[in-house]
Amino acid sequence: MIKNNFLNKINNSKQSYIIYKTTKGFNLYTDFSSKIILNNKNIDKFLSKKFKSNKNYKNTDLFIGFFGYEILNNLIKVKLPKQKNINFPKGIFYKPEKKITLKEDLIYYPNKSNKVNKNFKININKKSYIKIFNRFIKKIRAGETYQIKICTKYKNKSKIDPLDFFCRLSKTNLAPEAFMIKDKNFSIISCSPENLITKKGSYISTKPIAGTLRKTKKINKKKALKFFKNNIKETKEHNMIVDMERSDLSKVCKPGSVKLIKEKTVEEYKDLYHYVSLIRGKLKKNVKNIDIIKAMMPGGSVIGCPKISTLNLLNNQEKENRNIYTGSFGFIKFNGNMRFNIIIRSILNYKNISEISVASGVVVDSNSNHEFNENFIKAKALIDLYK
């Protein structure tokens, strides 16, 4: 353990660094010896990298970083039409030479002289959202998809202190897959709750989240579970996503080994409750990292079902790149183990422009007003940081 005044020191330096939530606190990675900026040409080579087994294995023997949404589509041969693009990297991975364990309560003393813009613009207003919603309902009834996620973005122009944001977010809305990256011209702050891949040895698991309920003083976890179980729309959505992620795991796991370990539990966050399950399987022999990434990404719970046809519908509808949103952040260790989340509940600040992307699931029983409002509920904990 170290004193958290170290955070002030590293944040005031020009070093790039990453903080990632663990079960016991946080890990901070820095002193990067290499930085790999991914593109459609080098991603296969990166994922096919082979590392020699080493008895002197170090806790920095890994690559840590993220895959953006667009590069994951390309990896599985899903074409994207020409969209509005801010030219943000499609993915970046770093090789750290230093790893530091931080305490659970991150303490940081920011410079309060910076004024942050509180006003956000949404890229799809309610009227436009309802038009898209009705278009997708027709696609669902025609059998082209069974569930689809409509993405909306909140944007503003702000110079932010990412560590200040991340520390405050960790105090108010700590999530099991939270992380932040601070680099020269961008930062990412995330309170992602969803684990997509945890691979240890020959076993792999995924934790799909499908189902959201706004928190009120009258609702506790027990009542939230009752709501989810009695709600046809939420149950249908959850079942479809669980089935799809079981199917994704089955592509790389031994037949009959994919099992539902925890089914339909509730997790509590600052402004909402989530409906969650846990699935686990045993990997086939000789499965490679690239096989796992192709099978599991982009994560089904933030896309819809079935995955490929739904991706095509989404990409043809959306007018701008998702960038990091619904991509994946995590690490690949030199011993083959890996952990990746789904990048949701995140702020991308690039060249002093902040964007917060969110999405809600649409099934045949969905209500457009409810889904539009659900998007705002998901974004609220992040938007509140600017106040």
Question: Pick the residue with more confidence: 244 or 65?
Answer: 65
User: Tens digit of pLDDT for each residue in 241-297?
Assistant: 899 999 999 999 999 999 999 888 888 887 788 889 999 999 999 999 999 999 999
Output the pLDDT for position 2: 45
Question: Pick the residue with more confidence: 14 or 298?
Answer: 298
Task: Give the tokens for residue 341.
Answer: 């989340």
Task: Name the average pLDDT for the chain.
Answer: 90
* Position 7 confidence tier, pLDDT thresholds 50, 70, 90: confident
In the chain, domain spans: 5-386
- Name which of 322, 380, 317, 376 is nearest 348 in CA terms: 322
- Name which of 295, 297, 290, 340 is nearest 50 in CA terms: 290
Element containing residue 343 per DSSP (H, E) = none
Going from the C-alpha of 319 to that of each of 39, 96, 316, 322, the distances in angstroms are: 21, 36, 8, 9
The pairing of beta strand 121-122 with beta strand 147-157: antiparallel
Which sign, positive or negative, has the C-alpha torsion 220, 221, 226, 229?
positive
Output the pLDDT for position 54: 65
Q: Which CATH number fits domain 5-386: 3.60.120.10, 3.40.50.150, 3.40.50.970, 1.10.540.10?
A: 3.60.120.10
* Position 197 confidence tier, pLDDT thresholds 50, 70, 90: very high
Output the pLDDT for position 113: 60
* pTM for this entry: 0.91
User: Tens digit of pLDDT for each residue in 74-121?
Assistant: 999 999 999 999 999 999 999 999 999 987 678 777 766 667 888 999
Report the DSSP beta bridge partners of residue 203. 200, 282
**95: three-class secondary structure by DSSP:** strand
What are residue 136's phi and psi, to 5 degrees?
A: -70, -35
Contacts of residue 331, Cβ cutoff 8 Å, sequence gap at least 6 = 20, 62, 63, 64, 65, 338, 339, 340
The average pLDDT across 137-160 equals 92
| pLDDT at 233 exceeding the cut of 90 | no
Output the pLDDT for position 213: 85
Going from the C-alpha of 386 to that of each of 164, 215, 326, 336, 383, the distances in angstroms are: 11, 21, 23, 39, 6
* Position 1 confidence tier, pLDDT thresholds 50, 70, 90: very low
**370: three-class secondary structure by DSSP:** helix
